[in-house]
């Protein structure tokens, strides 16, 4: 943070050290639990990761190789370095590579090179596998499952393995799930020698869009944009009521543009914001919850969202672009962060917390002088808006981030920084490679067996044809999957199994090619949202647990607090389904504006009801009507909107006219909270 002699920025918030940040990441973010090597192998991995990034940049600039070659080389790089960097077990040695990991890495190299060496023969074979083809494909499946276990987690490996077993034992399942079954050779062929399995859409997106955006994020980090987000957030929100919490919300929303991981976002921005909140009076669990809820929303925030958003482009198809997804996500994301902002504001008023003092604020003039650091992000938005392809926009973003780094000697990138950014980007991509490859196994089985349609029909039947009940079942499934699978894999599963059930109810008897785009987007955004907010939903709320590691608070209490703060995230997906105007597709500006106004007004009432404070402390018999009023305003019916507005105004009048009766002084509120 900027420090001036005449306006010293007091570093009194006890920001945790880089070592403590890494320890928390390794505990709660499996992708960060890697070996730290020295000597010859350190250099091998460094230059290998550099080669990975250079290959991806080359194909992004000069054009990609045939699909199978592009994807297998990408897969080979990812698998190789996963086995070299990720121990077989969490407590394994991190200073030495086991012999069997060298063997697995060599097998990964063979798998990655096999399509390149034998491309013509494999294309002409039309699915007829030689013995070598069969064994290489079998090894590829095993390597993907093991790499996913190490770099992503055991749950996704179990899920992918279960789908493989389902493909083989199809005839033995209940009637609604039964299929004729696939022999092992057919499964191997599907998984590695077609573009419907491991080499399918998920890893295709990883090998193109996702990787380049991960590189863009790595270059932004090297230019100091991450720290600048904190400085800018403090400069804009630090002096407001409950300023430190609002800084966390603002900073985390910005951090989401360079981090696709909720946990990484928590540790990056939370290492600064959580100690600041604690220092100024916030409870440990609440301070951690604010950061966890805000950081989780980073994947929802355009213009650069989580990896699953890129998959959505391919899964929906119909000529939709990433810009369409980002534009559709804009209002829901703003509503999400508005909801958290409202909740933290009411909590700050309830407790009696104020903003930062002048001595604790940075020199705003110095902060705003560096506003140019946001130019790469703004440029990507403008480029996509004028129709530049997404991958090219990311490449231009990288070049612009290098350019703006030269505006100040503190941010100026040296050749070493450039190389380190390439290596860091490739390292970040390893978990995505494993997740998308494993997700490809799931998609391949779903497509081959027709499981998606069967489960969708069963889900609709279970809900009795009720759209609301179907949405509830899909929400529960997405949350459960999100507790064990990363957002990418979660979205792949739910979009192929659960989203069709929503679409079937919203567009009955409509051919798939004729389903309106708003319905497709609404169904996919529904599962996308709940897959992400699983990170703050107890009992397994990894983002909240990581935040508690910084705050020192109770993990479960932090999780429940974060879920409470992010209550908007549990409502917005339903709003998207029932009020597709939020997606800004096929609608008018005044319809969208009305929905946004009523939604924000509703969240004000809900936030006050949940926190128990508005203009004054609220009794339980006031909180219930406030929450009910908020829900009425959020419901997509004009009658409920007008009734809700009337009730809202009545509640405001009551609060204002009685605000001095039981609010208590600031000191009394602080004492009560303590």
Per-residue pLDDT, averaged over 355-378, amounts to 84
Is pLDDT above 90 for 106? yes
Residue 580, pLDDT > 70, answer: yes
Who has greater pLDDT, 29 or 249?
249
Q: For the chain, give the mean pLDDT.
A: 85
Cα separation, 500 vs 484, whole angstroms: 22
Q: Residue range 564-588: average pLDDT? A: 85
Beta bridge partners of 613: 617
Count Cβ atoms within 10 A of the Cβ of residue 511 and give its class: 0-12 exposed, 13-18 middle, 19 or more buried: exposed
538, part of any domain: no
Q: Could you tell me which residue, 224 or 485, shows the higher pLDDT?
A: 224
Query: Does 265 map to a domain?
Result: no
pLDDT higher than 60, residue 670: no
Give the model confidence (pLDDT) of 109-131 as tens digits.
999 999 999 999 998 887 788 99
Integer Cα distance of 559 and 164 in angstroms: 34
pLDDT bucket at 140, cuts 50 / 70 / 90: very high
44, HSE (Cβ side, Cα atoms, 13 Å): 14
Residue 4 confidence (pLDDT): 38
pLDDT classification of 413: cutoffs 50, 70, 90: confident
Q: How far, in Å, CA of 658 to CA of 635, rounded? A: 29
Best-predicted range by mean pLDDT (35-44, 107-116, 118-127, 357-366): 107-116
* Residue entry with tokens 């990883």: 206
Q: What span, in angstroms and rounded, lies between the C-alpha atoms of 572 and 525? A: 10
Mean pLDDT of 481-485: 71
How many distinct structural domains can be found in the chain?
1
> What is the rounded distance in angstroms from the CA atom of residue 607 to the CA atom of residue 627?
8
Residue 408 — pLDDT band, cuts 50, 70, 90? confident
Q: Which residue has the tokens 């720290």?
A: 227
Q: At what angle do helices 322-351 and 307-316 cross, to 10 degrees?
A: 140
Predicted local confidence at residue 422, as pLDDT: 95
Asked, for residue 467, whether it belongs to a domain, the answer is: no
How many other C-beta atoms can be found within 10 angstroms of the C-beta atom of residue 666? Answer: 13
Low-confidence winner among 3-7, 51-55, 118-122, 412-416 (lowest mean pLDDT): 3-7
For the chain, give the percent of residues with pLDDT over 70: 92
Residue 671 has pLDDT above 60, yes or no: no
φ, ψ for residue 617 (rounded to 5)?
-60, 140
Average pLDDT over residues 184-208: 92
pLDDT band for position 662 (50/70/90)? low
Name the range with the highest mean pLDDT among 139-143, 232-236, 469-473, 578-582. 139-143
Residue 456, in any domain of the structure: no
Q: Is residue 369 part of a domain?
A: no
Question: What is the percentage of the chain residues whose pLDDT exceeds 90?
Answer: 27
The answer to whether 335 touches 573, Cβ cutoff 8 Å, is no
| Residue 23: closest CA among 36, 32, 14, 15 | 32
For 389, the token pair is 């392809």
Q: What does the pLDDT average to over 165-194? A: 90
Enumerate the β-bridge partners of residue 617: 613
Query: Which of 252, 260, 253, 258 lies closest to 308, judged by CA?
Result: 260
Q: Where are the alpha helices (DSSP H) in 169-283?
A: 184-192, 201-205, 211-222, 225-237, 243-255, 262-279
Q: Which residue has the higher pLDDT, 317 or 395?
A: 395
Residues in Cβ contact with 6 at an 8 Å cutoff, skipping those fewer than 6 apart: none
**pLDDT per position as a tens digit, 496-512:** 888 888 888 888 777 77
Residue entry with tokens 């943070």: 1
Cα separations in angstroms, 374 against 134, 195, 211, 639: 50, 38, 21, 43
What is the widest separation between alpha-carbon atoms in the chain? Answer: 84
Cβ neighbours of residue 589 closer than 8 Å, sequence gap 6 or more: none
Query: If we measure between CA atoms, which residue out of 129, 107, 103 comes closest to residue 118?
Result: 129
CA atoms within 13 A on the CB side of 438: 37
Mean pLDDT for the stretch of residues 402-431: 89
Question: Quick one: DSSP state of residue 207?
Answer: I
Please write the tens of the pLDDT for every residue from 323-350.
888 888 888 888 888 888 898 888 888 8
* pLDDT exceeds 80 at position 1: no
On whether residue 409 sits in a domain, the answer given is no
- The predicted structure's pLDDT at residue 593: 87
Asked if residues 214 and 488 have their Cβ atoms less than 8 Å apart, the reply is no
How many other CB atoms sit within 10 Å of the CB of residue 464? 8
Residue 351 and residue 353: Cα distance in Å, rounded?
6
How far is CA 260 from its chain centroid?
5
Dihedral over Cα of 562, 567, 571, 572: its sign: negative
Range 538-558 average pLDDT: 84
Residue 510 C-beta-side C-alpha neighbours within 13 Å: 17
Residue 487 has pLDDT above 80, yes or no: no
Q: Quick check: is 419 in a domain?
A: no
Rounded Cα distance, 407 and 371, in Å: 11
432 token code pair? 């995505």
Q: Is 290 within a domain?
A: no
- Least confident range from 316-325, 429-438, 440-449: namely 316-325
Residue 2: per-residue pLDDT: 38
- What is the per-residue pLDDT for 258? 63
Q: What is the pLDDT of residue 16?
A: 67
C-alpha–C-alpha distance, residues 549 and 406, integer Å: 36
- Cα 575 from Cα 177, distance rounded (Å): 32
Contact 81, 143 (CB under 8 A): no
- Contact at 8 Å (CB) between 474 and 459? yes
Top-confidence range, 255-259, 406-410, 412-416: 412-416
Domain of 91, in residue numbers: 18-207
User: Binning pLDDT at 50, 70 and 90, where does residue 535 land?
Assistant: confident
């Amino acid at each position: 943070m900027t420090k001036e002699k005449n306006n010293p920025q007091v570093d009194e918030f006890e920001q945790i050290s880089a070592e403590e940040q890494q320890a928390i990441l390794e505990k709660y973010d499996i992708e960060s639990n890697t070996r730290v090597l020295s000597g010859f192998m350190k250099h091998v991995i460094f230059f290998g990761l550099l080669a990975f990034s250079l290959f991806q940049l080359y194909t992004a600039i000069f054009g990609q190789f045939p699909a199978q070659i592009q994807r297998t080389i990408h897969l080979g790089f990812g698998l190789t370095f996963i086995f070299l960097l990720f121990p077989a077990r969490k407590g394994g040695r991190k200073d030495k590579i086991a012999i069997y990991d060298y063997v697995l890495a060599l097998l990964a190299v063979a798998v990655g090179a096999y399509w390149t060496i034998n491309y013509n023969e494999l294309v002409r074979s039309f699915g007829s596998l030689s013995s070598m083809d069969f064994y290489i494909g079998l090894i590829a499946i095993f390597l993907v499952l093991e790499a996913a276990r190490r770099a992503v987690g055991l749950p996704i490996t179990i899920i992918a393995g279960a789908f493989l077993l389902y493909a083989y034992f199809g005839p033995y399942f209940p009637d609604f799930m039964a299929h004729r079954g696939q022999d092992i050779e057919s499964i191997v062929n599907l998984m590695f020698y077609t573009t419907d399995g491991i080499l399918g859409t998920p890893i295709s997106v990883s090998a193109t869009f996702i990787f380049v955006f991960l590189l863009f994020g790595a270059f932004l980090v090297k230019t100091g944009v991450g720290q600048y987000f904190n400085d800018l957030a403090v400069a804009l929100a630090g002096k407001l009521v409950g300023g430190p919490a609002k800084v966390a919300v603002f900073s985390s929303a910005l951090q989401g543009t360079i981090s696709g991981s909720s946990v990484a976002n928590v540790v990056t921005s939370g290492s600064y914001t959580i100690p600041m909140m604690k220092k100024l009076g916030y409870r440990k669990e609440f301070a951690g919850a604010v950061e966890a809820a805000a950081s989780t929303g980073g994947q929802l925030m355009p213009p650069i969202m989580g990896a699953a958003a890129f998959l959505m482009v391919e899964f929906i198809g119909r000529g939709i672009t990433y810009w369409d997804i980002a534009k559709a996500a804009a209002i829901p994301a703003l509503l999400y962060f508005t909801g958290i902002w409202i909740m933290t504001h009411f909590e700050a008023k309830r407790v009696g917390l104020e903003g930062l003092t002048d001595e604790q604020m940075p020199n705003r003039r110095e902060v705003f002088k560096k506003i140019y650091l946001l130019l790469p992000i703004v440029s990507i938005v403008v480029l996509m808006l004028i129709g530049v392809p997404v991958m090219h926009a990311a490449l231009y973003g990288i070049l612009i981030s290098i350019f703006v780094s030269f505006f100040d000697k503190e941010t100026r990138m040296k050749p070493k920084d450039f190389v380190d950014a390439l290596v860091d980007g490739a390292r970040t991509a390893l978990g995505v490679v494993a997740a998308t490859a494993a997700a490809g196994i799931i998609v391949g089985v779903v497509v081959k067996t027709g499981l998606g349609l069967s489960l969708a029909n069963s889900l609709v039947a279970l809900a009795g044809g009720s759209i609301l009940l179907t949405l509830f079942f899909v929400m529960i499934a997405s949350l459960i999957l999100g507790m064990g699978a990363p957002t990418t894999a979660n979205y792949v599963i739910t979009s192929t199994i659960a989203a069709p059930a929503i679409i079937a109810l919203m567009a009955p008897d409509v051919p798939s090619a004729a389903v309106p785009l708003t319905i497709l987007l609404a169904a996919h955004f529904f599962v996308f949202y709940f897959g992400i907010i699983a990170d703050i939903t107890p009992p397994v709320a990894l983002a909240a647990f990581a935040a508690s590691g910084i705050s020192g608070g109770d993990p479960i209490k932090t999780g429940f607090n974060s879920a409470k703060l992010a209550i908007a995230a549990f409502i917005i997906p339903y709003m998207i389904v029932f009020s597709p105007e939020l997606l800004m597709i096929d609608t008018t500006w005044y319809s969208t504006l009305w929905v946004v106004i009523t939604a924000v007004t509703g969240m004000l009432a809900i936030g006050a009801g949940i926190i128990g404070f508005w203009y004054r402390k609220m009794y339980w018999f006031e909180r219930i009507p406030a929450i009910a009023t908020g829900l009425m305003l959020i419901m997509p019916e004009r009658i409920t909107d007008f009734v809700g507005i009337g009730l809202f105004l009545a509640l405001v009048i009551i609060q204002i006219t009685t605000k001095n009766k039981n609010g208590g002084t600031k000191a009394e509120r602080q004492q009560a909270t303590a």
